[in-house]
Structure 1
Amino acid sequence: MSSEWKTSSLLEHYDVRSGLSKPAKDFGSGHPFLSFKDVFYNFFVPQELGDLVNSTDKEREACSVMRGDVFLTRTSETMHELGMSSVALQDYPNATFNGFCKRLRPKAESGLVPEFVGYYLRSPQFRQVMLSFSTMSTRASLNNEMIGRLTITYPPMDEQRRISSVLKSLDDRIALLRETNTTLEAIAQALFKSWFVDFDPVHANAGNQAPSLPAEIQALFPSRLVESPQGLIPEGWEVCTIADVTETLGGATPNTKNDEFWNPPEVSWTSPKDLSGLNSPVFLETERKISKLGLSKISSGLLPIGTLLMSSRAPIGYLAMAQVPLAINQGYIAMPPGGKLPPLFMLYWCRHNMEIIENRANGSTFMEISKKAFRPIEIILPPSTVVDAFMATAETLFDRLVENEKQIRSLSDLRDTLLPRLISGQLRLPEAEAALAEVL
């Protein structure tokens, strides 16, 4: 680390205050509001705040949100969730922030670059210090005295900007890829709805609207709708059940007290927790693995790449396509390839019909849909020629989604590798900038 780097207390750079506490009736309308979740999940405050609160002029003045402000979660259920930070990179007119957060407003003479601070406070080094300072009663809590003992180590402002630029370039690229994936998913879901819910090609063939498909695809659809148990459906299409069109499998958890089921870790094994943090329905890696002996205790065995996973409880409805062979626990319904309707088709069907799926659930401790309750759900089965035509487009879109997710994983790993070394001065900037140039 260069001798130009300094270490000082956060309170030398910031003034601290708590946020706005309001009754539930004041939320849902009014002025922008920075929520606990906004702070917890983001290095930097989102450009647009999704929550609203009815706040007074005095409250908006006292609890404002401006560029350079640092927000720390001051209370949480666990110590590991305490003191999570988010830094504002712009002013937010009329906004206020959550009372379960602390705001650190920079002093005029601070000399800290907000982008650098955002990365520093999320670094493994700082998080470890935060954990050592936190206390537990019924909830973990962070007070002003603790904040006063926190320090920040930083270089001159120009170097802060260069370090931030390297890391922010990676994050900006990740954000762009995620936006692209959101668009790809929306296109595929809209196509599914047009063909298999609204029956637009059938209406076009009936002369009720202009055709929008190539002639050879348009010709695959009939020209009229007929009555069925599912209401009006295209002529020649069938009403079946889930059991008729795809295999549905459940899983299990090998005895966790038997080490032979878990070591050596040879086979990918998943619980629905793995899907909770996904930004798209692409499942690349499981958190845990089991041994081959452990796999022998799961009747559904090793499921192939391309299997659709749907969480069946706590909560119902996480959906993802497996990109590695894996085994599942009892919290899933899995739909492997090989049925009349492909897993990717079923992904879009499940999304569109999640309310129907949830309505079949029951349970006292938590809601769950069993395979027995899932399999009889009715589904409209189009001719294979129509399904194949849809899949030709859907698979192309999904393949791009998968490649983008793999790139996001690679860029995230690079950022997480560079971050602690850059903000501690262990890595020279030219080396980091050269690594960045290779991937962007």
Structure 2
Amino acid sequence: MRFPGFQEDWEVKKLGELLEFKNGINASKEQYGKGVKFINVLDILNNDFITYANIVGKVDVDSNIIEKFSVQYGDVLFQRSSETREEVGTANVYLDEQKNATFGGFVIRGRKIGDYEPRFFNNLLKTDSARESIITRSGGSTRFNVGQEILSSIALYFPSIPEQGKISNFLSHLDKRLSTQKKIIENLKLQKNIIVKKIFSQGLQLKNINENSFPKWIEKKLGDITEIV
């Protein structure tokens, strides 16, 4: 399925052509909990994309380290190590144009050096084919790992930049629709819980089709209506 106006074949590119890789900060435990925000594995796993606002952790490092390990708009973050093969190399893209962040030691940063649409790349790296390419190259037995060399060698298909943008806009529209539907469902669940509590506390009296109230509730023991075996 293609959008109208796009007929060119998708081009195979290695990640090493688009990204320059670097391992993250290894700080002492005393440095964590304050300072600049830094991206860890949970930020990669728990978000559809990463912004400065949704980063959980902080690390106290000097300005030279912040600059050396900065994360900018369009950079890609990979989970370097995992106890399960299914999660190793999981990727997420930093989509905050206002603030830069840093990244932790269990993360590999892919600095954007090539031409790609970051939102498209984010979706591409989450596809089954991309995940399979990374997982099959991971090493380890009790803990699985990927390194910069492995990530550089991963080859994926890319359309033109205009088509990447078209795909990204379409998927973003779907995400917004899904988010709206989730909010509607959550509100309905909340309303249901309120109504259930009122009904079973007899705070809400329902009426029949003739607009007459139903008889009062009768207290019964479970033994009166069930047989215990």
Please state which band the TM-score falls in when normalised by the shorter chain: 0.7 to 0.9
Which of 111, 114, 136 is equivalent to 1:132?
Answer: 136
Question: Is 1:21 matched with 2:35?
Answer: no
* Deviation for aligned residue 1:42: 2.6
Which of 134, 151, 154 is equivalent to 1:147?
Answer: 151
Contact 1:4 1:155 in 2 (8 A): yes
Question: 1:390/1:70 Cα in 2 relative to 1: closer, same or farther (>3 Å)?
Answer: farther
Corresponding residue of 2:111: 105
Match for 2:64: what amino acid?
K
**2:202 & 2:173 partners in 1: Cα distance?**
40
Which of 8, 13, 17 is equivalent to 1:8?
Answer: 13
Question: 1:92/1:57 Cα in 2 relative to 1: closer, same or farther (>3 Å)?
Answer: farther
Corresponding residue of 2:214: none
Q: Structure 1 or 2: larger helix share?
A: 1
Match of 1:99, SS? coil
Which of 66, 69, 72 is equivalent to 1:60?
Answer: 66
Question: Is 1:88 matched with 2:94?
Answer: yes
Gaps of at least 5 residues in structure 2 are 207-229
After superposing the two structures, state which structure 1 stretch, 94-103 or 112-121, moved more: 94-103
Matched residues, number: 200
Question: Is 1:36 matched with 2:41?
Answer: yes
**2:202 & 2:165 partners in 1: Cα distance?**
51
Gaps of at least 5 residues in structure 1 are 189-305, 307-320, 322-341, 346-383, 393-440
Deviations 1:49-77, CA, capped at 9 Å, x for gaps: 23222122112111112111001101000
Question: 1:390/1:42 Cα in 2 relative to 1: closer, same or farther (>3 Å)?
Answer: farther
Aligned residue runs from structure 1 range 35-434, under 5 A = 35-46=40-51, 48=53, 49-91=55-97, 93=99, 95-107=101-113, 110-178=114-182, 345=197, 387-389=201-203
Match of 1:389, SS? coil
Deviations 1:15-71, CA, capped at 9 Å, x for gaps: 110111222322222222222111123331145123222122112111112111001
TM-score when normalising by structure 2: 0.76
Match of 1:171, SS? helix
Match of 1:40, SS? helix
Q: Considering Cα pairs closer than 8 Å and 6+ residues apart, tell me whether 1 or 2 has the greater RCO.
A: 2
**1:6 & 1:170 partners in 2: Cα distance?**
26
Contact 2:77 2:93 in 1 (8 A): yes
Question: 1:385/1:151 Cα in 2 relative to 1: closer, same or farther (>3 Å)?
Answer: closer
Question: 1:391/1:127 Cα in 2 relative to 1: closer, same or farther (>3 Å)?
Answer: farther
* Deviation for aligned residue 1:183: 6.8
**1:70 & 1:125 partners in 2: Cα distance?**
18
**2:129 & 2:172 partners in 1: Cα distance?**
19
Contact 1:19 1:97 in 2 (8 A): yes
Match for 2:133: what amino acid?
V
* Deviation for aligned residue 1:154: 0.8
Overall identity of the aligned pairs, in %: 26
Question: 1:15/1:176 Cα in 2 relative to 1: closer, same or farther (>3 Å)?
Answer: same
Match of 1:91, SS? coil
Contact 2:72 2:100 in 1 (8 A): no
Match of 2:77, SS? strand
Match of 1:81, SS? coil
Match for 2:150: what amino acid?
M
Contact 2:199 2:205 in 1 (8 A): no
Match for 1:129: what amino acid?
S
Over the residues paired in the alignment, what is the CA RMSD in angstroms? 3.0
**2:205 & 2:143 partners in 1: Cα distance?**
50
* Deviation for aligned residue 1:173: 2.4
**2:46 & 2:28 partners in 1: Cα distance?**
23
Match for 1:387: what amino acid?
S
**1:29 & 1:181 partners in 2: Cα distance?**
37
Question: 1:344/1:86 Cα in 2 relative to 1: closer, same or farther (>3 Å)?
Answer: farther
Question: 1:52/1:180 Cα in 2 relative to 1: closer, same or farther (>3 Å)?
Answer: farther
**2:67 & 2:120 partners in 1: Cα distance?**
26
**2:63 & 2:184 partners in 1: Cα distance?**
39
